[in-house]
Structure 1
Amino acid sequence: MLVFTLYLLLRGHNAPGGGFIGALIAVIGLSLLMFAESPSYVRERLYYSPFGIAMVGIAVSALSGVMSLFVGLPYLTGLWWKEVVPLGTPLLFDVGIYLAIIGGVMGMLLKVNEELD
């Protein structure tokens, strides 16, 4: 499931998908793992705290918007670097949303599941 979420993340601006739906599917996969094993097992596999993952995601999303201000364009205007690869700030924004949703939702699910145990 986690590999499929990366596929959805990377095709998000050309077809249905993106950071939000990819992250929700990743959370479903991680929550299935949490119910099969335990919340502590999933916390060990995440390596970083869910709050830290969410904060990095918010920072990446904000940075992708600020980059357009440096070139004199409005906030969140898409910038594209076609010389390297078809890469742009919309993909960075989606990666930030992906991390923020995974961190936020998994943090809540882990906390609720730990409280119930």
Structure 2
Amino acid sequence: MKSLIFRTSAPYLTALMLLFSVFVLLRGHNEPGGGFIGGLIAASAFAIYGIASGVAAVRRALVFRALSIAGAGLFIATLAGLLSIVFGAPFMTGLWVYPSLFGVEVPLSSVLFFDVGVYLVVVGAFTGILLSLEEGEAE
């Protein structure tokens, strides 16, 4: 897209959307949201950035290949599910730990790690699809 306003505002909009996607990811199971919705928001942010700046800029911003991100997310989600078997619980049972950071008790769960895995799978898969579609359109 050749609009100066869009090219100028796209990086800021992308940053805001990525921040919002992390917010949606972290509020996950307590309220509506989670890994899938957060991942869709992040993939949409990269799509907007790609339309404004081109595919090469998005690939530089991602650092890793999109399908590698999806693969890492699938690995994390699978490990989160298998973690319960190690502790003698049924597959995909939520496990909780309460570490103390700077004197504040922080609840962490295997559910959060599963959501992070889903987030990465969605970001990697959808961004990879969008980038390949954008490359095909450019040719």
2:30 pairs with 1:14:
yes
Q: How many angstroms apart in 2 are the aligned matches of 1:32 and 1:83?
A: 38
Identity of aligned residues (%): 43
Give the equivalent residue in structure 1 for 2:66. 50
2:132 pairs with 1:111:
yes
Give SS of 1:115's match.
helix
Q: How many angstroms apart in 1 are the aligned matches of 2:37 and 2:124?
A: 14
1:89 to 89, 110, 116: 110
The number of residues matched between the two structures is 117
Q: How many angstroms apart in 2 are the aligned matches of 1:17 and 1:11?
A: 6
Give the equivalent residue in structure 1 for 2:119. 98
Give the equivalent residue in structure 1 for 2:91. 75
Give SS of 1:33's match.
helix
Displacement after TM superposition at 1:83 (Å): 4.1
Q: Deviations over 1:25-65 (max 9, x none)?
A: 11111100000010111001000000100000000000000
Q: How many angstroms apart in 2 are the aligned matches of 1:103 and 1:77?
A: 26
Query: Larger Cα Rg: Structure 1 or Structure 2?
Result: 2
Tell me, which stretches of 5 or more residues in structure 2 are unaligned? 1-16, 101-105
Tell me, which stretches of 5 or more residues in structure 1 are unaligned? none
TM-score of the aligned structures, taking structure 1 as reference length: 0.97
The root-mean-square deviation of aligned C-alpha atoms, in Å, is: 0.8
